[in-house]
Amino acid sequence: MRRKEIIRPDLNPNVSVDCVIFGFDFQQLKVLLIEREGDFPDEKSRLALPGNLIYDDENLNMAVNRVLKELTGLDNIFLKQIGAFGGVDRISKETDKEWLRSIRAHPDARVITVAYYSLVRISDYLPAASSFAVTANWYNVDEIKDLAFDHYTILKTGLNQLRREISFRPIGFNLMPEKFTLGQLQRMYEAILGRSLDKRNFRRKIMKINILSATDEKEYDVPHKPAQYFKFNEANYKSLVETGFDNFSF
Q: Which of a copy of itself, DNA, none does residue 86 bind (CB under 5 to 8 Å by kind)? A: a copy of itself
CA distance to 39, 91, 230, 235, per residue, from 192 (Å): 33, 29, 20, 25
Count residues near DNA (CB under 7 A).
24
Nearer to a copy of itself, 164 or 238 (CB): 164
Nearer to a copy of itself, 56 or 178 (CB): 56
When asked if residue 86 is in the footprint of a copy of itself (CB under 8 A), the reply is yes
Nearer to a copy of itself, 58 or 219 (CB): 58
Site string for a copy of itself, 169-208 (x = CB under 8 A): ----------------------------------------
Q: 3-class SS at 242?
A: helix
Beta strand residue intervals within 56-111, DSSP E: 78-85
The least distance separating a copy of itself from the CB of residue 175, rounded to whole angstroms, comes to: 23
Provide the residue count of the chain: 250
Q: How many CB atoms lie within 10 A of CB 50?
A: 22
Nearer to a copy of itself, 56 or 98 (CB): 56
When asked if residue 249 is in the footprint of DNA (CB under 7 A), the reply is yes
With contact defined as beta carbons under 8 Å apart, do 13 and 110 qualify? no
Sign of the dihedral defined by the CA atoms of residues 137, 15, 175, 30, in that order? positive
Q: Which residue in 138, 181, 232, 237 binds DNA (CB under 7 A)? A: 181
Q: Which residue in 225, 235, 243, 244 binds DNA (CB under 7 A)? A: 225
Q: Which residue in 7, 35, 38, 84 binds a copy of itself (CB under 8 A)? A: 84
The least distance separating a copy of itself from the CB of residue 155, rounded to whole angstroms, comes to: 17
Segment lying near a copy of itself (by CB under 8 A), choices 23-31, 51-59, 91-99, 188-196: 51-59
CA distance to 148, 203, 212, per residue, from 35 (Å): 10, 39, 38
Nearer to a copy of itself, 157 or 233 (CB): 157
Amino acid at position 225, single letter: K
